Amino acid sequence: MRRIHPHAEDDPDIAAAYAYPRDHWLRLNMVASADGAAWVEGHSEGLSGRADKRIFGLLRGLADVVLAGAATVRTEGYRPARPRESWRAPREGRPPVPPIAVVTRLLDLDLGGPLFTEAEPYARTIVITTESAPKERREEAADKAVLIVAGDDRVDLATAVDELRGLGLGRILCEGGPRINAQLAAAGLVDELALTVSPLLAGGDAARILDGVASRTPLTLAQVLEEDGFLFCRYLREAHDEAAG
């Protein structure tokens, strides 16, 4: 892997390149085709590659919590994160893995699935839902996960982020999907976009990485890495002065 912006460098320190600048920081991590598709045949796997998987794993290792929407969790078959030797140093003083936090308005999740039954006690899955979710489902979720109720009919993401920070989970990695990304951007909660551009034209009717309410978040390109034709771009919200790399 090589850095091509802001300065050229072969084999940069990737962990340092993606280090969180502050303890409270929300990073979106997404992959898109060269023509902007967020998936191929319904899954992001078709856009990924060896280097992208390496960056994906690293970003999880750096995060305090991994946030995802219920549709992404179902489609991508989420399971709890598992410890990696490469995470030992960046996670020193923290649990070996970050918990997964799932945003779901109506709790339409398989609460008996591996994401809940296989999570370690120190990284129990977190469910973020609403007051309007069925009471029985909320009670079941509270028994099998850490339950956060944020909002009445729709999940209030600002409240959800505050609740995660209240649990000591300030460095938030959001893995999508596009609808929750759009909601986070519209709420002004996105500090950074880590975007992998895949060397592929996908066509079709796939969504972009933000799909939903329109909003404008000016970004500054802080860093670009490259390997095997994949571009790994790190954009920071313009309000932040922190430079990457």
CB 224 within 8 A of CB 233: yes
pLDDT tens figures, 58-104? 999 999 999 999 999 999 999 999 999 999 999 999 999 999 999 99
pLDDT tens figures, 11-30? 999 999 999 999 999 999 99
pLDDT tens figures, 132-149? 999 999 999 999 999 999
Positive/negative CA dihedral, 34, 27, 105, 117: positive
| Residue 240: predicted pLDDT | 66
| Residue 219: predicted pLDDT | 97
- Chain-centre distance for alpha carbon 201: 24
Helix (H) or strand (E) holding 81: none
For each of the domains in the chain, give its residue range(s) and CATH number, in order of start: 2-8+20-237 (3.40.430.10)
| Residue 142: predicted pLDDT | 97
Mean pLDDT of 36-62: 93
One-letter amino acid identity for 198?
S
C-alpha closest to that of 196 among 229, 245, 238, 239 = 229
| Residue 243: predicted pLDDT | 45
DSSP conformation letters of 164-201: HHHTT--EEEE---HHHHHHHHHTT---EEEEEEES--
pLDDT tens figures, 174-213? 999 999 999 999 999 999 999 999 999 999 999 999 999 8
Query: For residue 241, what pLDDT band results from cuts at 50, 70 and 90?
Result: low
The number of residues in the chain equals 245
Tokens read off for 180 = 């929750």
Cβ within 8 Å of residue 19, ≥6 positions away: 62
- Chain-centre distance for alpha carbon 225: 19
Whether 6 shows a pLDDT value over 80: the answer reads yes
Peptide bond into 6 cis (omega under 30): yes
| Residue 175: predicted pLDDT | 96
pTM of the model as a whole:
0.94
| Residue 154: predicted pLDDT | 95
C-alpha closest to that of 174 among 157, 155, 159 = 157
Apex CA 29: angle with CA 4 and CA 63, to 5°?
105
